[in-house]
Amino acid sequence: MIKTLLLLGATGDLAGRYLLPALAALRAADRFPDDFQVIAAAREDLDDRAFQRTAAERLERHAPDVPAAARADLLRSVRYQRTEMTDPASLSSLLAGIRQPVAVYLALPPGLYTTVVITLKAAGLPAGSRIALEKPFSEDLDSAVALNRLLAQVVGTAGEQAVFRVDHVLGLPTAQNLLALRLANRVLEPLWNSRHIEQIDILREEDLGLEGRAGYFDRSGTLRDVMQNHMLQVLSLIAMDLPAPLDEHTLRDRKVDVLRSVRRLSRDEAVSRTRRARYTAGRLTDPAGGAGRAVPAYRDEEGVDAARGTETFAEVVLELDSERWSGTRFLFRAGKALHRRRKQVTVRFRPVEHPSAHRAPANELRIGLDGPEDIALHLTGGVSLNLPSLAPVTLAAPPPAADLPAYGHVLLDVLSGGSTLSVRGDEAEAAWHVMTPVLAAWKAGLVPLEEYAAGSAGPL
Of 264, 239, 209, nearest to 439 by C-alpha is 264
Q: CA 417 to CA 128: how far, in whole Å?
A: 10
Please give the single-letter amino acid code of residue 32. Answer: F
Of 109, 98, 160, 162, nearest to 137 by C-alpha is 109
Query: What is the C-alpha R_g of the chain?
Result: 23
With left for phi above 0 and alpha for psi between -120 and 50, is residue 74 left, alpha or beta? alpha
Pure H helices in 48-140:
48-62, 68-76, 88-96, 113-123
Contacts of 249 (CB under 8 A, 6+ apart): none
Please give the single-letter amino acid code of residue 418. Answer: G
Instruction: Choose, from 230, 339, 358, 378, the residue flagged as catalytic.
Output: 230
Contacts of 159 (CB under 8 A, 6+ apart): 152
Reported as half-sphere exposure (CB side, CA atoms, 13 A), residue 101 has a value of 17
**Strands 282-284, 393-397: pairing kind:** unpaired
451, 278 in Cβ contact below 8 A? Answer: yes
Q: Is 249 a catalytic residue?
A: no
346 - beta bridge partners? Answer: 201, 366
Q: CA 130 to CA 435: how far, in whole Å?
A: 28
- The SS3 assignment for 288 reads coil
Crossing angle of helices 20-28 and 48-62, in 10° steps, is 80
Q: CA 81 to CA 451: how far, in whole Å?
A: 45
State the catalytic residues: 230
